[in-house]
């Protein structure tokens, strides 16, 4: 994945890793904190994910059109700046609702920055190197998936409180701002002159007009639904079914990250052999199988193996989605199509998290996860030969 030296991209990627590392550590510590202060109530686990994803959704839907109109570097810096004072709230109160609302508001600005960062790559990287940049960028998140959960869960277990993780999170925002300020002389593409809602509507219409993009977004929506079910239930599953603690929770997410790095390394070879479209299609078929095997609760070590495979799968698919859009979508739509990609994921994730917040305490965790896996598999079978699925496999990317 080596590419010619590009200090602008290097600064942006390191800034992203540092900021994301603090955010991931905080998010996992926060999930553990809510589980503790709520007395293990799965309703609040679902609500934690719901507030998080709602903030991300609103940020994503705003980030695409905003990134088409304004200086993307300035947007990224502003998002980091705003999250700094918001973090102070977590030092001042243990009121669950205050924590949840602040977490959602803080995530709103993370949501704005997500599609902006991906579009910013097209501003600072030569066209012929964008695929490699996307792969490296995605691989960097695999590193974050290794270190972030370990720092968050083990740090919380050691200190028995959230404060130290909050300080770390704030420090990473400050370092990220410094690195972004080092990026100079960015040549940006011409900005959209239409209004916010026209931009968003054009992006959605562009996707609706192409079956291959429909296939990509349909699969991403499915990932959103079932990750919305799984993520709030990982810690309850470990404690209730496998009799483990937050430390094992952190280890499991580290293993997911190791699998992610492996997937990012092999992504290029897999995509070259199968094609981007087929890679996205077939990875979506494997996911419910992994979910079913994990939910069976065979053993903790078997769960670690499944999470390694899951990380491999996720980071094989993730850069493939961005590369597909970068290769087969006009640059004037790139920020909006990335924003809609995040929007679809977060919208479906919200629905699933809301479901967990309602039924989480009424249904056995293991049975709920197995039911989700079987539902996922049935939907995949039904959609196997749909027009959108066939178009994605054939990469029918004519506008």
Q: What is the pLDDT of residues 306-359, one digit of tens each?
A: 999 998 998 888 777 878 887 777 766 766 677 677 777 777 877 887 788 788
Q: The dihedral of CA 156, 352, 313, 172: what is its sign?
A: negative
Answer yes or no: is pLDDT of 399 > 50.
Answer: no
Locate the domains of the chain by residue range.
7-183+194-394
Are 243 and 253 in contact by the 8 Å Cβ rule? The answer is no
| Cα distance between residue 392 and residue 126, in whole Å | 26
pLDDT top residue among 199 and 1? 199
Alpha-carbon separation of residue 59 from 100, 261, 267 (angstroms): 16, 27, 28
3 state DSSP class of 93: coil
| Cα distance between residue 276 and residue 317, in whole Å | 9
Residue 1 confidence (pLDDT): 46
Mean pLDDT of 52-79: 80
Give the CATH class of 7-183+194-394: mainly alpha
Answer yes or no: is pLDDT of 227 > 90.
Answer: no
Helices then strands, each counted (H, E), the chain: 16, 0
Answer yes or no: is pLDDT of 91 > 90.
Answer: yes
Tokens of 358: 């309602």
pLDDT tens string 100-155: 999 999 999 988 887 788 778 777 877 777 777 777 777 777 678 778 888 888 88
Q: Look at 44-53, 238-247, 348-357 and tell me which has the smallest mean pLDDT.
A: 348-357
Q: Label residue 200 by pLDDT band (50, 70, 90).
A: low
3 state DSSP class of 209: coil
Q: Which of 82, 49, 111 is nearest to 357 (CA)?
A: 49
Longest dimension (CA), the chain: 56
Q: How many CB atoms lie within 10 A of CB 302?
A: 14
Residue 303 CB contacts under 8 Å (≥ 6 apart), including other chains:
238, 242, 252, 294, 297
Tokens of 293: 């095997």
């Amino acid at each position: 994945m080596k590419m010619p030296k590009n200090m602008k991209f290097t600064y942006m990627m390191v800034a992203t890793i540092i900021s994301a590392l603090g955010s991931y550590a905080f998010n996992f510590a926060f999930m553990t904190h809510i589980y503790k202060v709520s007395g293990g109530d799965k309703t609040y686990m679902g609500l934690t994910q719901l507030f998080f994803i709602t903030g991300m959704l609103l940020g994503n839907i705003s980030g695409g059109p905003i990134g088409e109109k304004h200086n993307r570097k300035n947007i990224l810096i502003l998002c980091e700046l705003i999250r700094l004072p918001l973090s102070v709230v977590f030092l001042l109160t243990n009121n669950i609702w205050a924590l949840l609302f602040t977490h959602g508001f803080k995530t709103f600005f993370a949501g704005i920055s997500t599609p902006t960062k991906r579009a910013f790559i097209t501003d600072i990287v030569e066209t012929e190197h964008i695929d490699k940049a996307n792969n490296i960028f995605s691989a960097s998140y695999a590193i974050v998936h290794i270190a972030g959960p370990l720092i968050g869960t083990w740090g919380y277990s050691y200190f028995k409180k959230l404060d130290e993780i909050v300080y770390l999170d704030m420090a990473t925002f400050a370092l990220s701002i410094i690195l972004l300020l080092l990026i100079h002389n960015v040549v940006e593409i011409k900005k959209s002159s239409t209004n916010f809602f026209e931009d968003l509507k054009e992006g959605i219409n562009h996707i609706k007009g192409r079956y291959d993009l429909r296939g990509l977004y349909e699969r991403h929506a499915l990932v959103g639904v079932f990750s919305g079910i799984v993520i709030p239930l990982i810690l309850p599953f470990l404690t209730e079914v496998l009799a483990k603690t937050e430390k094992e929770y952190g280890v499991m997410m580290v293993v997911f990250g190791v699998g992610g790095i492996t997937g990012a390394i092999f992504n290029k070879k897999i995509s070259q052999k199968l094609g981007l479209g087929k890679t996205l299609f077939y990875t979506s078929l494997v996911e419910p199988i992994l979910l079913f095997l994990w939910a069976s609760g065979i053993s903790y070590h078997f769960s670690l193996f499944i999470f390694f495979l899951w990380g491999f799968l996720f980071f094989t698919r993730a850069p493939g989605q961005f590369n597909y859009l970068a290769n087969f979508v006009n640059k004037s739509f790139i920020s909006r199509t990335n924003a809609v990609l995040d929007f679809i994921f977060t919208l479906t994730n919200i629905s699933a998290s809301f479901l967990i917040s309602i039924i989480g305490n009424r249904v056995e965790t293991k049975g709920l996860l197995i039911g989700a896996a079987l539902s996922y598999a049935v939907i995949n079978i039904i959609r196997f030969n749909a027009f959108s699925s066939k178009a994605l496999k054939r990469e029918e990317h004519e506008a």
